[in-house]
Structure 1
Amino acid sequence: MAELKNWYLICYDIRCPKRWRKAYKLLEGYGERLQYSIFRCWLSQRMREKLRWELEKILTTEDDLILIRLSQQCVRDLPKYNRSNTWLLDEKGFRVI
């Protein structure tokens, strides 16, 4: 059975450009950048914990990091109060041939 996944917003403020680049490259492998230091990622609990562990190896105590899990209701309501291209999803799904 597949693991349950959720959308996460990952926001960070990293003081050192070298650490910032490392975190940025790591996050590119997990999700999509929405703004300068904000990513959205579609993660299972296991993937989230792995990402968190990898980020903690890069960050120091002077850096800030927050992971926010979005409920399905939150994601569904995003188009109601944002610009139409704010949170685009590939809704094609699968084709059975």
Structure 2
Amino acid sequence: MDEHLYIVTYDISDQKRWRRVFRLMRGYGEWLQLSVFQCRMSRQRHAELIALLDGMIHHDEDHIVILDVGIAEKVAPRVVSLGKDFEPVAREPVII
């Protein structure tokens, strides 16, 4: 399965919408910082996430950026991390 590594960051103007987006993102990736997630997803999960986020935000007030870092198995992120250690999200089984 070709999974890509994504960095998702968002600026949501309304606290209630921010919490909804945060809860959704916790189901798709690893929380890095306040409004930043690291996600390892297939193309299908990526499209699903975009559709869900698109329906949640107010397009004239909010902003979400999704950066495709590359194929998860091949990417070797060069990261400078001060404070807590940074670890790329690993492939894990999904329990449904």
Q: TM-score, normalised by structure 2?
A: 0.79
Q: Distance in 2 between matches of 1:41 and 1:51?
A: 10
Q: CA RMSD in A?
A: 2.4
Q: CA offset at residue 87 of structure 1?
A: 2.4
Q: Distance in 2 between matches of 1:39 and 1:70?
A: 13
Output one character per residue of 1:9-29: Cα deviation in whole Å (capped at 9) or x when no partner: 000000000000000000000
Q: Distance in 1 between matches of 2:89 and 2:49?
A: 22
Q: CA offset at residue 86 of structure 1?
A: 1.6
Q: Distance in 2 between matches of 1:71 and 1:63?
A: 26
Structure with the larger helix share? 1
Q: Does the Cα contact within 8 Å between 2:2 and 2:71 map onto a contact in 1?
A: no
Give the partner amino acid of 2:52: E
* Alignment size in residue pairs: 88
Computing the radius of gyration from Cα coordinates, the structure with the larger value is 1
Structure 2: state its 5+ residue gaps. Answer: none
| Shift in CA distance, 87/55, structure 1 to aligned 2, threshold 3 Å | same
| Shift in CA distance, 65/76, structure 1 to aligned 2, threshold 3 Å | same
Aligned-residue identity in percent: 27
Equivalent residue, structure 2, for 1:16: 14
Structure 1: state its 5+ residue gaps. Answer: none
Give the partner amino acid of 2:28: Y
